[in-house]
Structure 1
Amino acid sequence: MLKRTFALSALVAAMFATPALAQDQDAAAYAQQQMEQMANEPVTDEQLEKFVEAIEHIERINDEFVTALESVETQEQAQELQLNAQREMVESVEETGLSVEEYNALAYRLQNDPEVQRRVEEMREDEDERY
């Protein structure tokens, strides 16, 4: 489960970063710098709870995207699906109360901070036990 979370957080971070890279390299560098700075700040349980909620929504959107991608016939259809999935992921993250930047910083921490990994894993296990 944690490996899937790592993969999805990396996928989403990459998807969120792609438009910024295409629009402006300076903006992308600034976003990366902000993410790294936020990654050094303490992480609250509230932030992680929002992050876990966002991950659950993103997993659902990703699963739907992968399923829909199997039936596309053209590159244009695949790109349209990807843009729609990306838009839905951004909306899902923002609906939790996190910004995309905050989500990306938490995803970075998840990949690089064993304590954050442990806390997220515990929260996800607790969530699974409730349902």
Structure 2
Amino acid sequence: MLKRTFVLSAVAAAMFSMPALAQDEDARAYAQQQMEEMANQPITDEQLEMFVVAIDHIERINNEFVEALENVETQEEAQQLQMNAQQEMVASVEDSGLTVEEYNAMAYRLQNDPEIQEKVEEMRESDDA
């Protein structure tokens, strides 16, 4: 289950950062620096709960996206599906009470902080029970 959490946070972070790929190198470096600074700030249990809600929604959206992607016939259809999934993921994150930047910072932190990993995993397991 922890591996699934890592994959989902990485998938979501990658999808949210796609528009940033078009930015110049200085803008990308600044965005990375901002995310790392946000990732070093304390995370409350309330924020973690919002993050877990967002992960659950993103997992569902990602599963639907992967399933739909199997039936596309053109690159344009695949790109449209990806844009739709990205929009849904952004909306899910914002509906959970987080900004995309906060979510990405928490996803970054999840990948690098064993204590946060453990807390998120415990929250996800208690939600499944």
TM-score by length of 2: 0.96
Q: Residue in 1 aligned with 2:85?
A: 85
Please tell me whether residue 99 in structure 1 is matched to residue 99 in structure 2. Answer: yes
CA shift, 1:31, in A, is 1.8
Write out per-residue CA displacement over residues 26-52 of structure 1, whole angstroms, 9 at most, x where no aligned residue.
333222111100111111101100000
Q: Residue in 1 aligned with 2:16?
A: 16
Please tell me whether residue 30 in structure 1 is matched to residue 30 in structure 2. Answer: yes
Please tell me whether residue 46 in structure 1 is matched to residue 46 in structure 2. Answer: yes
CA shift, 1:24, in A, is 4.1
After TM superposition, which residue ranges in structure 1, 4 or more long, deviate above 4 angstroms? none
Contact 1:17 1:28 in 2 (8 A): no
Please tell me whether residue 64 in structure 1 is matched to residue 64 in structure 2. Answer: yes
Counterparts of 1:27 and 1:88 in 2: how far apart (Å)? 25
Q: Among the aligned pairs, what percent are the same residue? A: 76
What amino acid sits opposite 2:22 in the alignment?
A
CA shift, 1:18, in A, is 1.1
Moved more, 2-11 or 18-27: 18-27
Q: Residue in 1 aligned with 2:127?
A: 127
What amino acid sits opposite 1:41 in the alignment?
Q
Write out per-residue CA displacement over residues 57-110 of structure 1, whole angstroms, 9 at most, x where no aligned residue.
000000000010000000110000000000100010011110111000100111
Counterparts of 2:7 and 2:76 in 1: how far apart (Å)? 25
Counterparts of 1:24 and 1:82 in 2: how far apart (Å)? 23
Unaligned runs of 5+ in 2: none
Write out per-residue CA displacement over residues 5-37 of structure 1, whole angstroms, 9 at most, x where no aligned residue.
101101111111110121444333222111100
**Number of residues of Structure 1 aligned to a counterpart in Structure 2:** 129
Moved more, 105-114 or 20-29: 20-29
SS in 1 for 2:71: coil
Root-mean-square deviation (CA, aligned residues, Å) is 1.0
Correspondence list, 1:100-115, <5 A: 100-115=100-115
